Amino acid sequence: MNKGVVIFTILGVVLLAIASYFIFFKVNVCSDSECFSEAIVSCEKTIYLFEDEDMIKQYVILGEQNEQCSSKVKILQIKTGNMELEILEGQEMICSFSQDTLIMPDEDITKCHGLLRENIQELVIQRMHKQLIANIGQIDESINKI
């Protein structure tokens, strides 16, 4: 085969691969909540880093699945000194949400699944248990009054 034909064929395959990447796998990056809200409504593949005083989260909109928008939520860093929350670092969950609502994907945790959701629920249960134990005397007095 001619050397020019081989080089042209290889160059064509590389260009086709690059074009396919940008057509099928392109992911937008948002730097603010307004951009991310627009991405939620359109359910475009998007990455957004959300930071507040407590933690840094990464949101990745994965696209539409079963008429719902799907998103991965990952806690990158816990910034507060609360030791019990540190187990959540690096964990993630997948959340599904309707595109017609402008809420963060993890605001309704009942529509999420994964290790992060399970551990959040476990922490809530532990806190409720501690609160119950701390207030058992008051609860007992209230029951006795009835």
Can you give the pTM of this predicted structure? 0.73
- pLDDT tens profile 62-121: 998 888 899 999 999 998 767 778 889 999 999 998 877 778 888 889 999 999 999 999
| pLDDT, tens digit (0-9, with 9 covering 90-100), for 6-41 | 777 777 777 776 666 555 667 889 999 899 989 988
Task: Name the 3-class secondary structure at 68.
Answer: strand
For 80-106, the DSSP string reads SS-GGGGGGTT-EEEEEE-TTS-S-TT
In this prediction, residue 1 carries a pLDDT of 61
**What is the pLDDT at residue 62?**
93
